[in-house]
Amino acid sequence: MSIQRLPVTVVGGYLGAGKTTLVNHVLRSTEERIAVIVNDFGEISIDEDLIVAADSDKLTLANGCICCTLADGFAAALMQIRSAGTLPQRLLIEASGVADPTQIAAYGHTPGLRLDAVVVMADAEQVRRQANDRWVADTVRMQLAAADLLVVNKIDLLDDADKADDLCDWLAGLSAGAAVVRASRAAVPIDVLLGPGSASDAADTSERPAPAGVVARGWHTVEDLFESQTVVLDAPLPMPIIEALLADLPDGIARIKGLLQAVPPASTEDASEANAAEAAATACLVEAVGKRTSITPHATDLTQPPPQWAISLISLKGALAPDWLRSHLQPSC
Amino acid sequence: MTTAHADRSETNEPFVIYPARRVITINPAFPYGEAVAVAGDRILGVGSTDELASWGEHRIDDRFAEHVIMPGFIEAHCHVMSGGLWNSTYVGYFDRRDPQGLLWPGCTSIDDVLERLAKAAADMTDDSQTLLAWGLDPIYFPGERLVARHLDTVTGDRPTLILHASGHLATINSALMDRCGIDETATSPGVARGGDGLPNGELHEPAGMMLAGEAFVDMMKANRSEQARWRYGNEARNAGHTLLTDLGTTQLWDPDQLSNWKKVTGDPTYPARVMVAMSNLFGATAEPAELAELCVQLKSEQTDKLRFGIVKLILDGSIQGFTARISWPHYYKPPPGHIGNGLWLTAPDQMADLVEPYHRAGLTVHCHCNGDEASEVFIDAVEQVLERHPRWDHRHTVQHCQLTTPDQYRRMAALGMCANIFSNHIYYWGDQHRDVTVGPERAARMDACGTALASGVSFSIHSDSPITPLGHLHTAWCAVNRLTASGQVLGPDERIGVPDALRAITIEAARQIKMDAEIGSIEAGKLADFAVLEDDPLTVDPMALRDIGVWGTVLGGVLQPAQTSDA
C-alpha cells in the first residue's frame, strides 16, 4: 500500500480579493475530493449548491468531504475531517483576510500532510492602495511575499492592458519569485491551481507513450492564458538534470508536476556497470509552483502496474518555446 | 406581625446587620458606614448599627466586626481557562494561589521547574497518563533554555507537555516527541531545533503545538469542563471578587457550553456572578448580525448570576509577543527577523461593519487593543458607527488599552467610550517593555490610568487571568504604585491614588458591563455583593495594598469564605 501525504493548498490574500470565490471555483471545477478548513464561518460563504448538509460545527460538501473551522485548533479540525465524511485527496485552507499565509502554510508540515502551494489572491483594482494603506500596507505586502502562486483577480476591472501589465510587473517584484497569473472572478484553471491533471475535464490521457528516451507529447493551451507541455519518460533521468531544471526556472512557469524515476549521479566505477543506474532508480514526485520546488520520494504501490512516468509544465502563453521542457531534460546537451 | 419592612425582603427572615471596622461604599454621597444591612440578596442600607436597626426586626452578625467591607470586586476581563489550567501543574515564575487556596511558590530557576515536575510525576498513579504543566516563561531564564533533555531527567518515559505562559509555545519531553513522531525528519517551522540541529522539544505557535496531538487537545478541552467553571468561581471568591467576565472564551452558540454555564451558575453555592461575552472568535458558525440577535435573546433569559449583553472583538496581538500593532517607531528591540510591526487579527477596514450589528442591537462592544494602532482603528470604527447610527451611552470599551495615547483618550471621552487597562502588565512585564519591547519613554506611559482619569474616561483595570493572576488588590496595587518585578517605578506620572483605584475595580468595572445599577457600590437596593477584607485599603501604606488578606466574599447575601491552605 502506498501512503501518499495529503497535499495542502493554502489560499490567502487580503479581504475582498476573492478567496471565497476561488474556493467555490475549485470545489466546482474538480472531481478531487477536497476538504476545506476556514478560519471561521463568518468569513466564508460556500455556494449553497455545493453544500449537502450544515451542522453547527461543519458543512458537508457535495464532494463528500467536510468544511470545518479552526475553532478548536488545527489538530481538532484534522480529526474532524478524518472522522467525518469521505477521506479527502486534498486539504484547502482558506486563511483569514489579515493572516500571514506563511503561518497557515506551516500546518502543511504536519506529518501525513504535504504543503502543495500557497495561493495568494490580489484585487487588481485595490491592491496598490492596500499595499500603501496606513494600517495594512505591511500586512498586504507580507501576504504577497508569501505567495507561490499570485492570482491577480478582477483583472477585467482594469481599463487597459498596459495597466494590467504594469500591475503584474509591480506585483511580481513584491512577491519575489511567485508565478503571477491573471484572472477574473477567480477563474484560474484548476491545473494551474492544483497541478496538472486536476481538472474534472482533464486532458485526454489515453495516448500511451511508445518511443524510447525522452519524448515530447505535445502542448496545448489551457483556457487562453496558459499552455502546457508534457514529456513522457520511459527511462530514469539522472538526478542532476532534474535538480538543474528546478534550480533555474525562467519566469512564466506556473506549475511543474512530474512523477519520474531518478538515479543519483553516476560515479566513475558505477559507470561501467550498465545496470547500476537502473537498479538505483527511485520514484520521485517533482513539483514546482512559483518559487516553491520539491523533489520527494514517491512510495509506489507494488500491487498496481507501474505509473506512467511523465512530467508536465504549465506556463503563460508565449513564455516558453514549445519544446522547452524536452530540451531541458536531455542528458548532456 | 408582618411589618412593611419584611416585605422588602423576598423571605420572611429578619434582615441581618453586619457591623464592620468600616464599610467603604464607593458611593460618593455616602462614602463610609459602620455597618451594612442585608435583606435576602439585597442591601437594605448602610450606616450606623442603630440607624439600620430602626428598619425593624433584625439580627446582628458580628463576624465582620474587625473587617473592612467593600463592594465585591468586579473583573471585567478574564477567561474561564483560568480555572481549567489548574488541571495541570503550575510551573510559572511568580507565586500563584490555586482555586483551593494553596500557594504554589514561583519556579525561579530551571531546577525549580524540574523539581516541581518530578514531584508531580511521582504523584501520578497511572503510568500512561501524560504530565501536563503550564505557566513556563523562559523570559526569566535568560541563560539556559529549558528543553526536552532537561525534562527527560525527571519525567523518564512519561509523556510530558508544558504550555508556556504566553500560550504561543509548548515544551515537550522525548517520550512525547517519540509518541508524536517528532524527529530529525520534521519539516514544520514550528519544531524548534537545538545547536545540534535536532528537535529540542520546543514547539512554536499553533502549527507547532498541534504536533503534540492529544496532549495539547486534552489540555484545551479541560478548559470547558464543569470543574474548570467551579475553579474559576472559587478563585474569584478567594480574591474578593463577586463578578467575573469571561471575555470571549466561551462559544455561546454551542448549546453544551451554554447549558454548562447555566448549570454551574444555577447552583446556589456557586461563588460568583459571571458575565459571558458573545464573541465571533473561535469559529462562530453565524454572521455577526445573527450573533447579535442570539446575544439579545440570551440577555432576555439571563439570571442574577449568569449575565449577557457584551461582545468581544479582537484587533491585534500582544506586546511581549511582538504582535501588537504599534505605531511608528514600532518596536524598540524586536527579535532578529521580526517583520517590523505586529499582526492584525481583524482587518481594520472591516471593523466598523463588524461593530455595527452589535451596536445596533444595543450591546456593548469590548475590543482587544494592545497597541495604539489597534486602539485608533477601534475608536475610528466606533466613530463611524455612531455617525451611521447615533446611540447614547453605548459604553463601547477599549480592552487592554496598553499603549492608548492621550489624544486617543480625548477621543474616547468625546465618544462615550470606556477603557479597561491592563495594569498587571506593569509588574509582570514592565521591565521587558522598558528594556526590550517599546523602550523607556513609551513604557512610562503604558497602561495610563492617570491619563484616563485626567481625560474623563471611565476606566477599569484587569488581570486577563490566566495571563496574570486574578486578584484586584494586586491589580489596584499595580495601578497605584507602578512597580515592576525588579522593583523600579515605571512612569510615576501615570500613578493614580488608592480611592481612584478602588473605584476602578468596583463601580467603574460594573459600569462598562452595564451592571452599575445593580452592583459595584454598597447602596440601598443593590445586590449584597461584598469583598470582606482583613485591613483597610484606604489606610494601609499603598505599597501594602496587595498584602491585605481577604476573608472571602458575600454574594447576594450568601457568605462565601475564602479557602486558604498554605503548602
| Per-domain residue ranges of chain A | 6-188, 214-328
Cβ–Cβ contact A138 with B under 8 A: yes
B93 and B196 fall within a common domain: yes
Nearest-angstrom CA–CA distance, B280 and B292: 10
Q: Which residue has the cell 457550553?
A: B257
- Among residues B170, B197, B221, which one ends one of the domains? B221
Express as a percent the part of chain A with pLDDT over 90: 47
Which residues of B fall within a CB distance of 8 Å from A57? 254, 283, 285
Among the partner-chain residues A71, A75, A107, the one whose CB lies closest to the CB of B283 is A71
Tell me, yes or no, whether B133 and B161 share the same domain.
yes
Asked if B206 and B87 sit in the same domain, the reply is yes
CA distance B233 to A285: 56
B350: nearest CA in chain A?
A: A15
Secondary structure (DSSP) of A249-302 = PPTTEEEEEEEEEEEPPPPHHHHH-TTHHHHH-EEEEEEEETTEEEEEE----T
Lowest mean pLDDT among A26-30, A223-227, B89-93: A223-227
What part of B 173-232 touches A (C-beta under 8 Å)?
181, 186-190, 205-208, 210-211, 213, 216-217, 220
In order of A238, A261, A276, A329, B29, the CA distances from A267 in angstroms are: 12, 18, 10, 20, 95
- CATH number assigned to the domain with residue range A6-188, chosen from the 4 options 3.90.850.10, 3.10.180.10, 3.90.1150.10, 3.40.50.300: 3.40.50.300
Note whether B92 and B192 are same-domain residues.
yes
CA dist B536 → A113, B38, B67, B346 (Å): 61, 21, 8, 44
Three cell numbers, residue A34: 477536497
> Do B51 and B120 belong together in one domain?
no
Angle separating helix axes B351-360 and B372-388, nearest 10 degrees: 50
- My answer on whether B217 and B90 are in the same domain is yes
Give the DSSP letter string of B230-292: HHHHHHHHHTTEEEEEE-S-S-TTSHHHHHHHHHHHHSTT---EEEE-EESTTT-SS-HHHHH
* Residue B281 confidence (pLDDT): 65
Asked if residue A258 has pLDDT above 60, the reply is yes
**What integer best gives the mean pLDDT of chain A?**
83
Run of H or E residues at B175 = helix B174-179
The answer to whether residue B430 sits within a structural domain is: no
Taking the alpha carbons of A101, A102, A103, A108 in that order, is the dihedral positive or negative? positive
pLDDT band at A202 (very low <50, low <70, confident <90, very high): very low
Closest CA of chain A from B334, distance in Å: 16
Q: One-letter amino acid identity for B246?
A: D
Q: Phi, psi at residue B356, to the nearest 5°?
A: -55, -50
Question: Among residues B345, B443, B451, which one has the least CA distance to residue B408?
Answer: B451
Higher pLDDT, residue A160 or B12: A160
Ranges of chain B whose pLDDT falls below 70: 1-12, 281-285, 566-567
Domain boundary among B14, B36, B66: B66
End-to-end CA distance of chain A: 38
* Residue of A56, A116, A135 to mutate, testing the B interface (most B Cβ within 10 Å of its Cβ): A135
Residues of A in contact with B280 (CB under 8 A): 40, 42
The pLDDT-based confidence of A297 (bands split at 50, 70, 90) is confident
Q: What is the structure's pLDDT at A203? A: 40
Quick check: B545 and B65 in contact, CB under 8 A? Answer: no
Instruction: Give the structural domain span for B12.
Output: 6-66
Is B111 buried (19+), middle (13-18) or exposed (0-12) by CB count in 10 A?
exposed
Q: Which of A42, A74, A111 is the closest to B207 by Cβ? A: A74
B89 and B214 fall within a common domain: yes
Confidence of residue A217 (pLDDT cuts 50, 70, 90): very low
Residue B251 lies in a domain: no
Our CA-based measurement puts residue B208 at a distance from the nearest CA of chain A, in whole angstroms, of 8
CATH class of this structure's domain A214-328: alpha beta
Rounded CA separation A32/A124 (Å):
29
Q: Which of B361, B456, B472, B363 is closest to B409 using CA atoms?
A: B456
**How many structural domains comprise chain B?**
2
Give the model's pLDDT for residue A211.
33
CB contact under 8 A, B217 and A73: yes
**Cα angle A186-A187-A191, degrees, rounded to a multiple of 5:** 120
Query: Which CATH number is B93's domain given?
Result: 3.10.310.70
Domain boundary among B186, B221, B256: B221
The pLDDT score that the predictor gives to residue B138 is 87
Question: What is the length of chain A?
Answer: 333
Distance CA A150, CA A144 (A): 7
Domain at B33, CATH number = 2.30.40
Question: Based on the domain organization, do B127 and B196 belong to the same domain?
Answer: yes
Cβ–Cβ under 8 Å, residues A57 and A28: no
Nearest CA in chain B to A137: B341
pLDDT at A215 over 70: no
User: b/e for B269-287, b at 16 or more Cβ within 10 A?
Assistant: ebbbbbbbbbbbbbbbbbe
* Residue B485 CB burial class (10 angstroms; 0-12, 13-18, ≥19): middle
* Range scoring the smallest mean pLDDT among A274-288, A306-320, B501-515, B547-561: A274-288
Residue B49 sits in the same domain as residue B107? no
On the question of pLDDT at A333 being above 50, the answer is no
Considering the domain boundaries, does residue B242 fall inside one? Answer: no
- Residue ranges with strand state E in B382-451: 397-400, 418-421
Tens-digit pLDDT profile for residues B441-473: 999 999 999 999 999 999 999 999 999 999 999
Nearest residue in chain B measured CA to CA from A57: B285
- How close is the nearest chain A Cα to the Cα of B186, in Å? 8
B374: amino acid identity, one letter: A
**A142 contacts in B (CB within 8 Å)?**
339
Q: Which residue has the cell 526536552?
A: B148
Q: Does the beta-carbon distance from A41 to B347 stay under 8 Å?
A: no
Residue A71 with chain B: CB contacts under 8 Å: 251, 282-283
- CA B455, B457, B458, B462 dihedral sign is negative
